[in-house]
């Protein structure tokens, strides 16, 4: 029997709604609980816009003039690694270039610029630049694993375009190699360890089996990778989770795994574009190096981002998410 439970509270209220001639209008709000951690997410109902800001084309054009990641400046305006780590200072693959983060937030952080082009709409991102970017991240993390002993968490993150917190229009990705797991990852790994200890099974294996059986949030599989929408959402307009069975870290992915993921990511962004979603955050959740137990499967989390009011550049993160750590969405994951 699968022990995972999808728990929610349905709250009902009413108010006199000016959109309904001030008639007394009922509404429902749901509080959902992550089946692994117990963290709550709310599903509320209010309108938001996914339109591009009116000045976005001008923003793309104006930022290109001084972009440090464009090909005529990248080698001059980006740092190099110490020769003891990388004799050539940077890693390259196709158009992609990996170099140190000029503003590091850990002992080893890197930036990957996967393409020469300054801008792609999210639904037109070429599969090749996604593949090359993730392959460079994997190869860099493998290099660090070879050179360093102990438990390190090596991951890959991507903020695409301004609503995501991206500091440049030009596509760029982040690699983090740290002895300290970020808060959410640490919490999830601890819960997975407890789950494995209690049931002798991997949490993600049971979760994917249950999601596929029930079908409400199951998206499908691309090769060996499983996709579903989380029961307790993170993003305002929902999110997607990819699971890599029996793989614990990014360095365990082969080229075929990465290519399958890149094609699926492109398909997801094309689907998001049908509702005018054009920005996203992507994060991989790895196990630490040196851990040999099978309690964790590598996962990737994709969250579309938006301006709630494009004319005001209003963020989709407010006091609720930032100060109370309470996620909420305006759509049902189903």
CATH H-level superfamily of 56-319: HIT-like (3.30.428.10)
> What is residue 307's DSSP assignment?
B
- Report residue 116's pLDDT band, with 50, 70 and 90 as the boundaries: very high
Length of the chain: 334
Residue 201 tokens read as 């099974």
Per-residue model confidence (pLDDT) at position 54:
66
E strand or H helix at 187, and its extent?
helix 183-199
**Residue pair 98/174 in contact by the 8 Å Cβ criterion:** no
**Residue pair 297/246 in contact by the 8 Å Cβ criterion:** yes
Q: Specify the higher pLDDT residue, 323 or 276.
A: 323
- Mean local confidence (pLDDT), 275-294: 92
**Residue pair 26/13 in contact by the 8 Å Cβ criterion:** yes
- Report residue 292's pLDDT band, with 50, 70 and 90 as the boundaries: confident
Question: Number of H helices and number of E strands within the chain?
Answer: 7, 14
Per-residue model confidence (pLDDT) at position 200:
94
Instruction: For the chain, give every domain's residue range.
Output: 56-319
Average pLDDT over the chain reads 94
Residues 140-198 pLDDT 10s: 999 999 988 789 999 999 999 999 999 999 999 999 999 999 999 999 999 999 999 99
Residues 4-52 pLDDT 10s: 999 999 999 999 999 999 999 999 999 999 999 999 999 987 666 677 7
**Residue pair 228/221 in contact by the 8 Å Cβ criterion:** no
């Amino acid at each position: 029997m699968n022990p995972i439970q999808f728990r929610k509270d349905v709250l009902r209220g009413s108010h006199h709604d000016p959109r309904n001639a001030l008639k007394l209008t009922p509404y429902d709000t749901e509080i959902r609980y992550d089946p692994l951690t117990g963290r709550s997410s709310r599903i509320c109902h209010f309108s938001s816009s996914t339109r591009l800001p009116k000045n976005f084309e001008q923003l793309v054009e104006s930022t290109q003039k001084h972009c440090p990641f464009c090909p005529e400046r990248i080698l001059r305006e980006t740092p190099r690694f110490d020769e003891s780590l990388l004799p050539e200072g940077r890693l390259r693959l196709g158009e992609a270039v990996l170099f140190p983060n000029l503003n590091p937030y850990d002992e080893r952080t890197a930036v990957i610029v996967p393409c020469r082009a300054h801008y792609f709409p999210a639904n037109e991102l070429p599969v090749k630049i996604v593949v090359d970017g993730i392959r460079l991240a994997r190869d860099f993390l493998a290099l660090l694993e070879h050179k360093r002993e102990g438990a390190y968490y090596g991951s890959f993150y991507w903020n695409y375009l301004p609503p995501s917190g991206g500091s440049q229009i030009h596509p760029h990705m982040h690699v983090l190699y740290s002895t300290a797991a970020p808060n959410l990852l640490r919490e999830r790994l601890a819960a997975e360890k407890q789950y494995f200890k209690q049931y002798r099974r991997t949490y993600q294996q049971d979760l994917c089996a249950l999601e596929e059986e029930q079908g409400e949030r199951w998206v499908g599989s691309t090769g060996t990778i499983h996709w579903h929408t989380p029961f307790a959402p993170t993003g305002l307009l929902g999110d997607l989770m990819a699971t890599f069975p029996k793989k614990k870290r990014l360095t365990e992915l082969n080229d075929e795994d990465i290519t399958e993921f890149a094609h699926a990511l492109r398909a997801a962004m094309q689907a998001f574009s049908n509702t005018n979603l054009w920005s996203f955050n992507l994060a991989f959740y790895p196990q630490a190096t040196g851990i040999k137990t099978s309690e964790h499967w590598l996962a990737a989390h994709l969250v579309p981002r938006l301006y709630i009011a494009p004319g005001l550049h209003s963020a989709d993160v407010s006091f609720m998410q930032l100060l109370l750590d309470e996620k909420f969405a305006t759509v049902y994951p189903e």
